């Protein structure tokens, strides 16, 4: 007999894109596993908690509850932002691939021999994909479908390994069930790149010392109407706007004093902010093929530029908005694994 009935020291997660929103597909543990750095922290919630309006007319008591409705699940995903560790293909993809696509990213795989890559950009209506997943934790199985994400955070404090975080939401058509992690669950264990080999450029300014960075995406995820045909929660869809923001902390540079207010060695964030100047941002993390990644944004603008300090060293914490180059473009940011 085990000492306790259920434990929390182990977890598993597998997922696959859906062909039809909210319709789960069969998962194969040998190919669909995803390595997470921590348990997915599944939380089951309801669209209607069963509370009735008003109170009992003949006493001070509250009215009895009715059954809850619209069961959903939320998962908090944390993983290393690792590449595949091998030449990319339709079946060899970065660790975060399925998490990115259910957050509205479009993936394009280039299989050119010797320079294989996967490029992620913000998607449009025809590009959106949902996933279904099975999460194993607490000694239980959470089977979730129609999963979309509230956005991602891709960040790192140097010289650690970069991580990717996301909150996923989906329909939970079945109750939790007692289940062991499948013995044949397999995932890619490639280690993510350290941010020691990192290059950042802001326009033509290339800071030598960078402390941290964070890319944040917010999708504006919203509930859909209740699914009366299947008597379940109606699922989710993205909001009317998707926001991309970027933060980085660098040692405070000398200020550029003349237009365009940035050079290879000087940078004037206040002038650039007041002028509303758009400029390109590029960031590379890692230097090993099939493990490294690059971020690029063609039209960044400064939102805030507070001065801070580390000991006696003056630092600058930049907050940037990533915007598209035109009002019909989907090019706010590109994430490249190569």
- Tens digits of per-residue pLDDT, 124-180? 999 999 999 999 999 999 999 999 999 999 999 888 999 999 999 999 999 999 999
Domain ranges of the chain: 12-46+69-337
pLDDT tens-place string over residues 1-12? 789 999 999 999
pLDDT tens-place string over residues 59-83? 999 999 999 999 999 999 999 999 9
Q: pLDDT at position 142, please?
A: 98
Cβ atoms of 24 and 18 closer than 8 Å? yes
Q: pLDDT at position 195, please?
A: 84
Which segments of 129-266 are extended strands (E)? 131-137, 140-157, 163-171, 177-178, 198-202, 210-218, 222-223, 236-237, 243-251
The stretch 268-276 carries a mean pLDDT of: 97
CA separation for the pair 331, 124 (Å, rounded): 11
Cβ atoms of 146 and 19 closer than 8 Å? no
2 CB-contact burial (10 Å; exposed 0-12 / middle 13-18 / buried 19+): exposed
Q: pLDDT at position 2, please?
A: 81
């Amino acid at each position: 007999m085990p000492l306790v009935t259920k434990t929390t020291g182990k977890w598993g997660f597998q997922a696959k894109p859906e062909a039809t929103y909210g319709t789960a597909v069969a998962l194969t543990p040998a190919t669909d596993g995803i390595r997470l750095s921590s348990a997915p922290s599944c939380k089951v919630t309801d669209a209607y908690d069963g509370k009735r309006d008003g109170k009992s007319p003949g006493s001070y008591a509250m009215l009895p509850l009715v059954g809850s409705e619209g069961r959903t699940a939320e998962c908090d995903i944390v993983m290393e932002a690792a590449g595949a560790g091998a030449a990319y293909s339709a079946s060899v993809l970065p660790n975060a691939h399925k998490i990115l696509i259910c957050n509205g990213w479009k993936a394009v795989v280039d299989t050119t021999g010797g320079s294989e890559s996967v490029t992620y950009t913000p998607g449009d209506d025809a590009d959106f994909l949902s996933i279904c997943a099975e999460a194993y934790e607490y000694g239980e199985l959470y089977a979730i479908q129609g999963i979309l994400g509230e956005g991602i955070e891709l960040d790192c404090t140097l010289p650690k390994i970069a991580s990717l975080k996301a909150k996923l939401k989906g329909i939970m058509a079945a109750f939790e069930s007692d289940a062991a992690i499948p013995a044949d669950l397999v995932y890619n264990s490639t280690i993510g790149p350290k941010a020691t080999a990192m290059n950042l450029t802001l326009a033509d300014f290339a800071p030598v010392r960078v402390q941290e960075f964070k890319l944040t995406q917010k999708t504006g995820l919203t509930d859909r109407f209740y699914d009366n045909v299947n008597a379940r929660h109606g699922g989710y869809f993205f909001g009317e706007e998707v926001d991309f923001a970027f933060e980085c902390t660098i040692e405070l540079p000398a200020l550029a004093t003349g237009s365009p207010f940035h050079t290879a060695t000087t940078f004037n964030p206040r002038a650039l902010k007041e002028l509303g100047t758009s400029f390109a941002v590029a960031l590379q993390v890692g230097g090993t093929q099939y493990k490294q990644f690059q971020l690029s944004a063609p039209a960044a603008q400064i939102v805030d530029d507070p001065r801070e300090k580390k000991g006696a060293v003056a630092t600058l914490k930049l907050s940037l908005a990533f915007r598209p180059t035109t009002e019909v473009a989907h090019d706010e940011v590109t994430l490249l694994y190569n």
